[in-house]
Amino acid sequence: MNYSIIRYILGWIFNFQAFAMFFPCIVAVIYGENEFLDFILCIVLCLVIGLLMTHRKPENKVFFAREGFVAVALSWILLSISGALPFIISGCIPNVVDAVFETVSGFTTTGSSILADVEILPKSILFWRSFTHWLGGMGVLVFLLMILPMNGGYQMFLMKAESPGPSVSKLVPKVRTTAMILYGIYMAMSVVQVVLLLIGDMPLFDALCTTFGSAGTGGFGIKNDSMTSYSAYSQVVTGIFMMLFGINFNVYFLLLMRHPKQALKCEEARWYIGIIAVSTGIITIFITNMYGSVGEALRHAFFQVSSIITTTGFATTDFNLWPAIAKTILVMLMFIGACAGSTGGGIKVSRLIILVKTIRKELKQILHPKNVTKIRLDGKIVEHDTVRSVNVFLVAYFLIFAASVLLISVDNKDLVTNFTAVAATFNNIGPGLEMVGPTQNFGCFSDFSTFILTIDMLAGRLEIFPLFILFMRDTWKRF
């Protein structure tokens, strides 16, 4: 283990946190809130720690998958703990466990909250709460790759450990350039959404916070009713952008490079859009009688399907009141998730495609034992290592899911609440059903269960292995 490079990267995480907190500090000054002093204190603390850890550059800058996984896991843990300080110091969330839960929910773009009334919070705290979504959406380490002075191509291990999906590739030969392209697309799409929301007469502060939530597919609302009180125009714009941010960013890169044919060949994107279309159509049929018109039912159905499959968690209505078939579809979408290489969570559509094709391959193998069948995705052969990693991921996923449901059942909540609470946090979605539905919150759980759900959010965002590799003895051996 190259401890010096880990220390150096973690130091930059504190520096990054200090830089990020300047923005809510500015918001506090604009609105004349005393919380700007709390943010100044947090900035100073993060800078002191960060500068102490980065003042001496590591002599050995070589690191591999092990260092990449450890650096990413520890970065997200430290980011969450330091990011919780404004909530604790300001007194908005005095309970440390709850404050860390709220912060982890923000950075992991989950959107689950322990707060019953968000409208009483200061503007600067609301801004920080939503801004963590935007920061965590594309990945903090991906951002740092643009500025960290590291050479030799080792940065790819960081990107692979942090980026969601079964496989990650460079868009261009240099990893730093790839990171810049990804963040450039991310920022450009965010700006477009803000402009469109402003055109719909949404206040600037609301437009920024809503964009942070939909771009990062997070879902922290700044109103107690989430998106319900906003206009139909704003809801449609947000729904469309949630869907767009759930598409693999490689597709946008191909379109940017004027390769539309290659972009259209993305099998995962086609499946993703198809699942959204079919789910929206079915739900619309079953909820039309609740809203009086097909148009209104279609708007709510599309918004909730887009919100859930992208694991954003915004809501325009209380879907906990929908018919059982509509709620069942939404729960299924919680597990499917968005595309790999997007800001969304869940299992990912690409893994679902590989799983379906693996089952089909096995069935063909039974009928034709001598035939050699290869699994293909986007016309390319899927390597055996990728198929194996998908299978291992799914086994680990369901084992952790089952264990989490069992552990939080000590609070004696009903099964639907426990099941969907784990589904909502592990898949980084936000709301569940029953006691954690779209009009409720996660404040009903004990500190123990809140801690378990916090671990689930981190494990879900980092896709299990980077987090749990910290508990392997061999991880910490020097080389």
Q: Are 314 and 227 in contact (CB under 8 A)?
A: yes
Report how far apart, in Å, the C-alpha atoms of 27 and of each of 31, 104, 204, 320, 439 are. 6, 22, 12, 35, 28
Q: Are 42 and 82 in contact (CB under 8 A)?
A: yes
Longest Cα–Cα distance of the chain, Å, equals 75
- For the annotated binding site, the residues are 109-110, 218, 311-312, 428
User: Whose CA is closest to 99, among 111, 109, 85?
Assistant: 85
- For the annotated binding site for K(+), the residues are 109-110, 218, 311-312, 428
Residue 377: phi and psi, rounded to 5, are: -135, 125
CA 207, chain centre distance (Å): 20
CA distance 99 to 88: 7
Beta partners for 380?
A: 377
CB neighbours of 443 closer than 8 A, spacing ≥ 6? 98, 114, 115, 116
Extract the tokens encoding 371: 């035939």
CA distance 192 to 55: 38
Q: Is 435 exposed, middle or buried (0-12, 13-18, 19+ CB in 10 A)?
A: buried
Report CA Rg, the chain. Answer: 22
